[in-house]
Amino acid sequence: MGTDSTPGDGSIFADERLLDPEYLPTDRFAGRDEEIASIEYAVTPIVFGTQPDNVLIHGRWGTGKTTCATYSIRREVQHAREQGVRAGFVYVDCGDRPTETNVTRTVAQRLNDPSITELAIPETGLSLREYRDRFRTVLDARYDVVLVVLDRMDRMDDETLPLEFVLSDADGPRDCAVGIIGICDGVVEDVANEAVESSLWDSHIGFDPYGRDELLEILDPRLDAFADGAIVDEAISRAASIASEPYGNARTAIDLLRFAGERADERGDSVVTAETIESVAADVETIRTREAIASLPRHSRLALLALASVSSDRPGESVRTTTIHEAYEGVCRDHDTRPRTARRLQDFLNEHADLGFTQTAAHWGGRGEGNYKTHRLTVDPEVIALVVDDR
């Protein structure tokens, strides 16, 4: 599906661009006033050029974490600059740069101005230590304080904690203060990652799933995407209801409206109804499932791939944890990475069940067999293999 309608093109849409999830029709975020206030409170010291808190933001995918964080931080950085503070801000998606070297190089490059520092930050050819040194040189030459947003931190390699060295005075006092805002998908207790579990964080801010009423508020300013009378109230209500279960996802709600509008155009319908919303729900769910799998930390994806590989030979059957562990070790060998511990694997499997990718059952086998768990895949194994191999 997909049209690229623009205002006045005669379709059911007036301006389909308003249904782009990245489009922000307002600077007020439904149901997120408290979270935004908490973020701004944590980083407010930058207005005075002093050390901000290091904040870990966590919550389900599609709950507004990145949007609210970047909005709040950009606003505070602007306030700091208005006060004469040399404040900087940089955003890095750790899912695309999963090692400390990748992250350090990227942050240094984005903050650097060679005309001021007379320093180059090459893509290759330097050690991690050299990238760190150049990063510190850039900071001290250009800034009083910098905020670094590390999105999808749970996608980092477990052994690395990017930029932790910045917070240490081991090499002497620093001229530039640095605050880290880490963002991870999921509940912190369910994320097996050293960076997320670190004592580095001064505070944690959780984003709960959106409720139905909040989703309706999010959708309201986007309804101008439709021509007058082209969508009925029942359709909007149904989209919010579907998206609110089980993990109130704003992107799902927006996509339901967009897909339904495109489906109505394809059919030649003049209006989007609740039935139209229902007709595209399965398509949106498939996309959401693929994106949710792709957003998992690397080893969580590999554990899911291990279960998928076993389930391909026994579709619909439940599989014991020990069998998955054996398959997981083989998958790790194939992907040239060291497997995590059995405890970490269990964390991953719990996460999969929580996301609805699997169904888990506990069994008490008595003296002869002992207690154990089984896991049954609820997602097409081919979808998992396609997503994981594509990453």
What CATH number is given to the structural domain containing 379? 1.10.10.10
- 294, 321, 355 - which closes a domain: 294
Residue 194's pLDDT is what? Answer: 55
Q: Residues 110, 150: contact at Cβ < 8 Å?
A: no
Residue 4's pLDDT is what? Answer: 46
Q: What is the CA radius of gyration of the chain?
A: 23
Which tokens is 187 given? 């509940």
Residues 40 and 88 in one domain: yes
Distance CA 224, CA 243 (A): 20
Query: DSSP labels for 144-159?
Result: SEEEEEEETGGGS-TT
Distance CA 222, CA 257 (A): 9
Task: Write the CA distances from 158 to 297, 300, 303, 306, 321, integer angstroms.
Answer: 9, 11, 15, 19, 22
Residues 54 and 151 in one domain: yes
In the predicted structure, residue 168 carries a pLDDT above the cut 50 = no
Residues 178 and 45 in one domain: yes
Q: Order of strands, edge to edge, in the sheet holding 319-320?
A: 319-320, 371-377, 358-364
Does residue 155 belong to any structural domain of this protein?
Answer: yes
Residues 346 and 313 in one domain: yes
Q: How many CB atoms lie within 10 A of CB 116?
A: 10
pLDDT digits (tens, 9 = 90+) for 274-308: 999 999 998 888 887 887 888 787 888 899 999 99
Cα 266 to chain centroid, rounded: 32
Does residue 10 belong to any structural domain of this protein?
Answer: no
Residues 335 and 373 in one domain: yes
Closest CA to 75 of 102, 35, 44, 97: 44
Residue 129's pLDDT is what? Answer: 86
- 294, 324, 347 - which closes a domain: 294
Q: Residues 55, 88: contact at Cβ < 8 Å?
A: no
Q: Residues 336, 330: contact at Cβ < 8 Å?
A: no
Domain count, the chain: 3
Residues 103 and 215 in one domain: no
- Domain span at 68: 33-207
Q: Give kind and range of the element (H or E) at residue 185.
A: strand 177-185
Which tokens is 117 given? 């520092």
Average pLDDT score over residue span 79-105: 88
The one-letter amino acid at 136: R
Query: What CATH number is attached to the domain comprising 289?
Result: 1.10.8.60
Does residue 6 belong to any structural domain of this protein?
Answer: no
Average pLDDT score over residue span 161-183: 66
pLDDT digits (tens, 9 = 90+) for 190-205: 454 555 556 678 888 9
Does residue 251 belong to any structural domain of this protein?
Answer: yes
Residues 281 and 308 in one domain: no
Q: Is the pTM of this model over 0.75?
A: no
The one-letter amino acid at 285: E
More confident residue, 337 or 389: 337
Residues 268 and 312 in one domain: no
